[in-house]
């Protein structure tokens, strides 16, 4: 099977196997794409080289560059049509791209291919984006299933994103057939928490592994090999905090001073994580959710990059202020751009309360006042155990009548974890107990988040945008007409809606066209 995912973001920042660059039959590429690092050296004055332009006479889709270490393949497609072109002509370009041979990494069972909203900018169908979505999305989904490849449709502007989700929500049986009703129901429940501002997301190392980054045992293994302890460490997965202390001591013994050894160790960790520069699909889906508060113990910066690409950046605590930002990310154990503060050893954990007690208190407050969704987090971290236990003792007077404070998405059933967190967490397993394919379970987790994101996207930034009229329901058209009539009456009375903040906010949420919202991608 394959799946069509829809996100809000930039395909050039996604950890995928290949992405599609739109252009025209003469080989020209819109200026909006020229600055991407992936296409540096591939164009000549904003155009394909002459040798490749000659091949466009024979076929619409060409590979510009093969995949390299850490960089996806880049393909070009002639999607520069006119208003006279049939919508199916644009779908044909997607079909040709997806059907090509696309090698993929062992981190995924099937290739992950990323496409922009072709035809919607300079492609000739900007005036009919709604109709183009209705043609493109179902065909791309069916194609993904037939050829067993995953396709990511990344919208670069709010109206296109909310319109794409509206199209898919009308036919969940088509777009999310991989999920049974129990999982669909849990996703809708979480989506409601997100849409109403009551959900906080806590994500762990499992979210970053698809970008080639190590999990906690993998990190300790890499550090052990740096100081000649790989044989002693072997494949051990227990007492990792103590192994970290041993590794720290080895770094200290090799340095001029213990303090210099600690600095070198944490700088080495930053060096291990820094090369990853593309966010995973999971990062992108989470960053597209209407959630304001995120927590992680990860050191990497991939979520921050995904949020930036989704045009909804986060303030990173504790180093940045939340002023001017609607969303924030709390990095509890440090970050590679502040590697001197990385939490690694048991001593770091024991000192956490005295050095970062305010951060623990913030997480405790979130556990009490929000519903917390755990993604890619094993729930075995000692620091988190202490935080959760304080919450248990503070608010769990009668556990039998208490709602769980969170939901954890697990790749498979975990009886011990479920027993340890009974009455505190709902554990949702994406795969069955007999399914040992963790790669496929991780794929199901992304499908689950994709459905959750579609259901949580309740704003209609496309409602007042005439380019999406074709996909509006009868009720939505009535609402649009009523809003437009209100605006006209205000204008006739000489009242500027911008002077009424609630009205201006409503119009913005409903997609009143604004020059800054348009995209030529």
Closest CA to 280 of 207, 204, 376: 207
Domain count, the chain: 4
Residues 144, 31 share a domain? yes
In a domain, 248, yes or no: yes
Residues 228, 196 share a domain? no
Residues 318, 233 share a domain? no
For residue 326, give both structure tokens.
């609607």
In a domain, 350, yes or no: no
In a domain, 352, yes or no: no
CA-CA-CA-CA torsion sign (149, 69, 304, 428)? positive
Residues 68, 23 share a domain? yes
Burial 261-291 (b: 16+ CB within 10 A, else e): bbbbbbebbbebbeebebbbbbbbbbbbbbb
Residues 124, 161 share a domain? yes
Cis peptide before 139 (omega within 30 of 0): no
pLDDT score at 518: 46
CA distance 330 to 316: 6
Query: Final residue of a domain: which of 456, 483, 499?
Result: 456
Residues 475, 422 share a domain? no
Residues 237, 164 share a domain? no
pLDDT score at 515: 39
Query: Final residue of a domain: which of 273, 294, 311?
Result: 273
Query: Final residue of a domain: which of 456, 484, 499?
Result: 456
pLDDT score at 7: 96
Residues 478, 450 share a domain? no
At 177, phi and psi to the nearest 5?
-65, -15
| Domain containing residue 27 | 4-178
pLDDT score at 521: 61
Q: At what angle do helices 382-395 and 352-369 cross, to 10 degrees?
A: 50
For residue 153, give both structure tokens.
């449709």
pLDDT score at 384: 81
CA distance 423 to 367: 14
Residues 405, 421 share a domain? yes
Residues 25, 114 share a domain? yes
In a domain, 349, yes or no: no
Q: What is the pLDDT along the chain (521 residues), one digit of tens a residue?
A: 899 999 999 999 999 999 999 999 999 999 989 878 888 889 999 999 999 999 998 899 999 999 987 789 999 999 999 999 999 999 999 999 999 999 887 678 899 999 999 999 888 899 999 999 999 999 999 999 999 999 999 998 999 999 999 999 999 999 999 999 999 999 999 999 999 999 999 999 999 998 999 998 899 999 999 999 888 777 666 788 889 999 999 999 999 999 999 999 999 999 999 989 899 999 999 999 999 999 999 999 999 999 999 999 999 999 999 988 899 999 999 999 999 999 999 898 888 877 788 888 898 899 889 999 999 988 877 778 888 887 777 765 455 567 888 999 998 888 888 888 888 889 999 987 666 677 888 999 999 999 999 999 988 899 999 999 999 999 999 999 999 898 888 878 887 766 777 888 888 888 875 434 445 56
CA angle 188, 191, 196 (to 5 degrees): 130
User: How many other C-beta atoms lie within 10 A of the C-beta of residue 108?
Assistant: 19
In a domain, 258, yes or no: yes
CA-CA-CA-CA torsion sign (284, 158, 430, 171)? negative
Tell me the CATH number at 451. Answer: 3.40.50
Residues 153, 26 share a domain? yes
Residues 159, 44 share a domain? yes
């Amino acid at each position: 099977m394959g799946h069509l995912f829809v996100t809000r973001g930039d395909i050039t920042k996604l950890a995928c196997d290949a992405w599609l660059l739109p252009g025209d039959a003469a080989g020209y590429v819109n200026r909006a794409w020229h600055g991407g690092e992936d296409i540096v050296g591939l164009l000549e004055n904003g155009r394909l080289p002459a040798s490749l332009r000659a091949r466009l006479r024979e076929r619409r889709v060409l590979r510009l560059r093969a995949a390299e270490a850490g960089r996806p393949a880049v393909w070009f497609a002639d999607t520069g049509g006119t208003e006279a072109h049939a919508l199916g002509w644009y779908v044909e370009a997607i079909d040709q791209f997806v059907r090509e041979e696309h090698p993929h990494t062992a981190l995924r069972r099937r290739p992950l291919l990323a496409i922009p909203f072709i035809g919607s900018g300079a492609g000739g169908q900007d005036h009919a984006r709604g109709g183009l979505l209705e043609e493109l999305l179902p065909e791309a989904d069916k194609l993904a299933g037939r050829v067993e490849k995953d396709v990511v449709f990344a919208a670069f502007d709010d109206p296109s994103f909310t319109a794409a989700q509206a199209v898919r929500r009308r036919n969940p049986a088509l777009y999310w057939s991989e999920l049974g009703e129990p999982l669909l129901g849990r996703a809708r429940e979480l989506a409601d928490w997100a849409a109403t501002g009551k959900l906080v997301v806590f994500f762990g190392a499992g979210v970053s592994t698809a970008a080639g980054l190590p999990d906690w045992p993998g990190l300790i293994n890499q550090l052990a090999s740096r100081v000649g302890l790989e044989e002693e460490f072997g494949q051990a997965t227990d007492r990792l905090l103590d192994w970290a202390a041993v590794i720290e001591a080895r770094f200290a013994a090799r340095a001029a001073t213990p303090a210099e050894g600690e600095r070198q160790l944490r700088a080495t960790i930053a060096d291990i994580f820094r090369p990853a520069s593309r966010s995973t699909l999971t990062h992108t889906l989470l960053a597209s959710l209407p959630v304001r508060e995120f927590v992680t113990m990860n050191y990497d910066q991939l979520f921050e990059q995904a949020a930036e690409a989704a045009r909804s950046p986060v303030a990173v605590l504790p180093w940045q202020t939340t002023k001017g930002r609607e969303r924030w990310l709390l990095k509890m154990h440090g970050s590679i751009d502040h590697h001197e503060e990385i939490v690694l050893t048991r001593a770091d954990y024991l000192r956490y309360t005295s050095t970062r007690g305010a951060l623990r208190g913030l997480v405790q407050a979130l556990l009490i006042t929000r519903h917390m969704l755990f993604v890619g987090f094993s729930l075995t971290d000692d620091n988190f155990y202490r935080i959760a236990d304080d919450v248990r003792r503070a608010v769990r007077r009668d556990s039998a009548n208490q709602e769980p404070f969170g939901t954890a998405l697990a790749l498979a059933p975990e009886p011990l974890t479920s027993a340890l967190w009974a009455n505190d967490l709902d554990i949702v397993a994406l795969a069955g107990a007999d399914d040992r394919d963790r790669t496929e379970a991780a794929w199901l987790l992304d499908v689950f988040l994709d459905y959750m994101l579609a259901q949580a996207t309740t704003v209609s930034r496309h409602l007042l945008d005439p380019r999406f009229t074709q996909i509006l329901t009868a009720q939505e058209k009535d609402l649009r007409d009523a809003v437009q009539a209100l605006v006209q009456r205000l204008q006739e009375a000489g009242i500027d809606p911008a002077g009424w903040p609630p009205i201006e906010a409503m119009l913005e949420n409903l997609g009143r066209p604004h020059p800054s919202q348009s995209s030529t991608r």
